[in-house]
Amino acid sequence: MTARMATTDRGQLDLLDWARRSDGTSVEDIAILPSSFGDGFGVYPASDDIDSLPSPLLRIPGSACITIQEALTPENYPLAAEAGLVDLLTRLVDAVPQGGRTIALAAFLATMRLCPECAGATKFDAYLSVLPWAESPYTDEDEAGEQDHVLWWTEAELELLKGGKAYPAALAIRDEVDTAIRMLTSPLRPLVRESLGGLQSLFTPTEALDEKIEASLRAAFVSVLSRAFDFREGQDRIMIPIFDAMNHRHPPTCTWSMEGGGGGGGGPLRTG
């Protein structure tokens, strides 16, 4: 049996340490290593002798996941009630469940990134830090730190799809995200301004503030659209730390299941 070399990446080490502190998490039989395809990291069995490892390889409790309930909890946000953000997200989830859940998760991720002192950000700090933000602390300053996604593409890159089946879908998703960003910017503005504090809060131009909010929201939508899992027969969405970096092959070679009162779910491992 040959053990795989453990990661030395600071962000991934912090993530594993954070996971070990969560009751019910089991991460001892996995390794986080550079992905075999593209940039970033992936989750692998801790040994190349698969038969010697237990099943399941990984357990993540619901308490360590970012759920719609977390996204709609006012205590996770600074000044949330005054800004009306949670009320807006709740109404969206009620009115347009599927799209509303995606928007709620993205709004939560972006707010936690922009307001790192609030309760939700503190709870999920290690996971938030390894998501593909445009200004990730775990990438070189000269790198964008962005995940390759149609939401980041230039108009010229988008034109390369023209005439293909993916082109209308790409246009639609970009339009939907742009609409959501415009809708979320106003309620997020006072939260981010308060988070800046001091003179920076007073003298940061609104235009600069909005650019920061837009970049964080766009990155958050990239994470939700590429990493979130649907469960309860599509009636809910959830972000599962570490688990979302597992197998992405097509067809998938990993399977997953939900235990206890999770409402069912399972099958081939797919995200997005």
Q: How far is CA 119 from CA 56, 170, 232, in A?
A: 31, 35, 27
Please state, rounded to an integer, the average pLDDT across all residues of the chain.
Answer: 82
Contacts of residue 168, Cβ cutoff 8 Å, sequence gap at least 6: none
Q: How confident is the model at residue 214 (pLDDT cuts 50, 70, 90)?
A: very high
| pLDDT per position as a tens digit, 95-132 | 999 899 999 999 999 999 999 888 888 899 999 999 98
84-93: pLDDT as tens digits: 899 999 999 9
Whole-number pLDDT of residue 118: 85
| Cα distance from N-terminal residue to C-terminal residue, the chain | 34
Helix (H) or strand (E) holding 107: helix 97-114
pLDDT top residue among 96 and 261: 96
In the predicted structure, residue 235 carries a pLDDT above the cut 90: no
Query: Residue 117's pLDDT is what?
Result: 86
Element (H or E) spanning 41, and its range?
strand 41-45
Burial class (CB in 10 A: 0-12, 13-18, 19+), 104: buried
- Hey, how many other C-beta atoms are within 10 angstroms of the C-beta on 158? 15
pLDDT(135) > 80? no
Question: Mean pLDDT, to the nearest integer, of 151-160?
Answer: 91
Mind listing the pLDDT tens digit for each residue in 169-183? 999 999 999 999 999
Closest CA to 114 of 239, 209, 28: 209
Whether pLDDT at 141 is above 50: no
